[in-house]
Amino acid sequence: MKKTICTTIICLALVLSTLNIFSAIRLPSVLGSHMVLQQKSDVKLWGWCGPSEKVIIKTSWDTITYKTTGGSSAKWVQKIKTPSAGGPYSITINETTILEDVMIGEIWLCSGQSNMEWSGDQNLKQCLDEMPNATNKNIRLFYVPKSTSEYPQENCGGSWKVCSPEEMKHFSAVGYFFGKNLQQALNVPVGLINSNWGGTPAEVWTPKNEVENDQELNTAAQKIKPTDWWPNLPGYAYNAMIYPLTNFEISGAIWYQGESNVGTYKSYKQLLSKMVGSWRKIWDKEFPFYFVQIAPFSGYGEHNLCALQRETMTRCLTIPKTGMTVISDLVDDIKNIHPANKIDVSARLANIALAETYGKSGLIYKYPMYKEMHIEKNKIRLFFDNAQNGLVSKDKNITEIYIAGENKLFEPALAKIDGNTLIVWSKSIKSPLAVRFGFTNAGIPNLFSKEGLPVNLFRTDDWDVDTLPEKK
């Protein structure tokens, strides 16, 4: 009997020993050498190991030893404290897994559709011109490969790369130039996560249940037609390209998307609110979310769907901790849905982040927004927020401004700047009721704040807007 017990114990010990020999710490792809971790934070390290396996973590920036144990699901997670920005450092896990050249700094997620995805691979001149200057050890790039899943995934492909001309060429132009601006202004390492897919509607970046449990969003989602080039089902990109990142601490997100939701503009504010809210919930952090208003583009047809989408995107500013970049003046070709100027888009995004997230003063980043109107006999005076120092026009005549009376038919108007207000009238309308500015698909207005930022499109009315399909 004693011999049997001893034999059993020995066999069990051998089994456990064998498990320990063959078990190995495994990490998700977003944790690796050359990565950037968020400074002055409790950040998560996590992965897989043998059940009940001890996990011991040491970092080169302090003398703390962190210990945890793998669970029955063969997973482990441990929070570690990070110092102020700096590096390079190393992280050692169980003496066998060593992450080298780890920087501590700021991390931003760059997501959306093709205008966020576009890079030197699409022969953007600004990217190709930048390549010789793109070697920067304080900028690190992580590219999430395009993938989809019906269910949330715990890992994605990709690996961290030190910014070099070749790596920068393949990376989001908006993301890279945004990160370069932050890195230079803050003088800290910056990590950029590139998770985007040209053509994708926002529904695919939003958890499926958030869309399907909302009647308005579910109805809009049914209108998205399948294609051979990108997913159309709610949650499919979120599950594979966002969810695997959600243990990784980030500073915030930038977003350039909306073109594929022009046809469902009515639900876009609700959709973006659900998407941002779900991201913040799973990250357990109300991080800042800064987005680009889509650009004027003639390809939407003669009707006003693009203007209505841009108006809806303006309303998305009511979502907490958001900011919007207006780019109506940065369009070189209204027939191209991909404006070539990404440097100025990125600079404007970066100014919002530097001011709102990092508290930098003296930056011009708030766009003139319509506030209210006063009817003064046969004229209308318009008032604006963010135009304290006055308005300017780049040409003699102010363009893209329209006025209407009781018949609700808008016609081109005359306009005059009066300090930080705008006076609008038409010789043919004696009793004006409403004004619209830049409220077309492809119009590029020429009215700016004195500091040079474009006045955002607006309408003073809530009348019906022409959204009929083009006649064949």
Average pLDDT, stretch 394-406?
Answer: 95
Using the predicted structure, report yes or no on whether residue 444 has a pLDDT greater than 60. Answer: yes
pLDDT for the residue numbered 21: 45
Tens digit of each residue's pLDDT (9 = 90 or more) over 169-178:
999 999 999 9
Using the predicted structure, report yes or no on whether residue 6 has a pLDDT greater than 70. Answer: no
pLDDT for the residue numbered 407: 96
Tens digit of each residue's pLDDT (9 = 90 or more) over 132-163:
999 999 999 999 999 999 999 999 999 999 99
Using the predicted structure, report yes or no on whether residue 332 has a pLDDT greater than 50. Answer: yes
Using an 8 Å Cβ cutoff, are 155 and 28 in contact?
yes
Using the predicted structure, report yes or no on whether residue 5 has a pLDDT greater than 70. Answer: no
Using the predicted structure, report yes or no on whether residue 347 has a pLDDT greater than 50. Answer: yes
- Confidence band, pLDDT 50/70/90 cuts, at residue 468: low
Using the predicted structure, report yes or no on whether residue 11 has a pLDDT greater than 50. Answer: no
Using the predicted structure, report yes or no on whether residue 10 has a pLDDT greater than 50. Answer: no
Identify the residue whose tokens are 């995107």: 313
pLDDT for the residue numbered 19: 43
- Confidence band, pLDDT 50/70/90 cuts, at residue 355: very high
Q: How many angstroms separate the CA atoms of 446 and 464, rounded?
A: 26
**19-25, Cβ contacts within 8 angstroms, sequence gap of 24 or more:** 19/50, 20/50, 20/53, 22/50, 23/49, 23/50, 23/53, 24/49, 24/96, 25/49, 25/55, 25/76, 25/93, 25/94, 25/96, 25/97
Question: Residue 216 carries which DSSP code?
Answer: H
Angle at 432 between CA 426 and CA 437, to 5 degrees: 70
The terminus-to-terminus CA distance of the chain in angstroms comes to: 92
Count the residues in the chain. 472
- Confidence band, pLDDT 50/70/90 cuts, at residue 12: very low
Using an 8 Å Cβ cutoff, are 154 and 110 in contact?
no
pLDDT for the residue numbered 72: 96
Q: Which residues make beta-bridge pairs with 140?
A: 162, 191
The β-bridge relationship of strands 401-404 and 411-412 is antiparallel
The β-bridge relationship of strands 190-196 and 97-112 is parallel
Please, what are the domains in the chain? 19-101 (2.60.40), 104-356 (3.40.50.1110), 369-459 (no CATH)
pLDDT for the residue numbered 211: 98
Average pLDDT, stretch 302-319?
Answer: 95
pLDDT for the residue numbered 456: 98
The reported pTM is: 0.94
Residues above pLDDT 90, as percent of the chain = 92
Using the predicted structure, report yes or no on whether residue 179 has a pLDDT greater than 80. Answer: yes
pLDDT for the residue numbered 20: 44
CA distances for 443 relative to 261, 297, 306, 327, angstroms? 19, 8, 10, 12
Q: How many angstroms separate the CA atoms of 173 and 30, rounded?
A: 21
Using the predicted structure, report yes or no on whether residue 15 has a pLDDT greater than 60. Answer: no
Average pLDDT, stretch 165-193?
Answer: 98
pLDDT for the residue numbered 203: 98
Give the H or E element holding residue 276: helix 268-283
pLDDT for the residue numbered 23: 52
Average pLDDT, stretch 77-90?
Answer: 98
Using the predicted structure, report yes or no on whether residue 325 has a pLDDT greater than 90. Answer: yes
Average pLDDT, stretch 27-54?
Answer: 98
Residues above pLDDT 70, as percent of the chain = 94
Q: Tokens representing 180?
A: 């370069």
Using an 8 Å Cβ cutoff, are 129 and 168 in contact?
no
Identify the residue whose tokens are 């619209």: 436
Tens digit of each residue's pLDDT (9 = 90 or more) over 210-237:
999 999 999 999 999 999 999 999 999 9
Q: Tokens representing 421?
A: 């207000």
Tens digit of each residue's pLDDT (9 = 90 or more) over 250-285:
999 999 999 999 999 999 999 999 999 999 999 999
Average pLDDT, stretch 52-72?
Answer: 97
Q: How confident is the prediction for the chain on average, in pLDDT?
A: 94
| 3-state secondary structure at position 73 | coil
pLDDT for the residue numbered 426: 98
pLDDT for the residue numbered 200: 98
pLDDT for the residue numbered 472: 36
Using the predicted structure, report yes or no on whether residue 301 has a pLDDT greater than 90. Answer: no
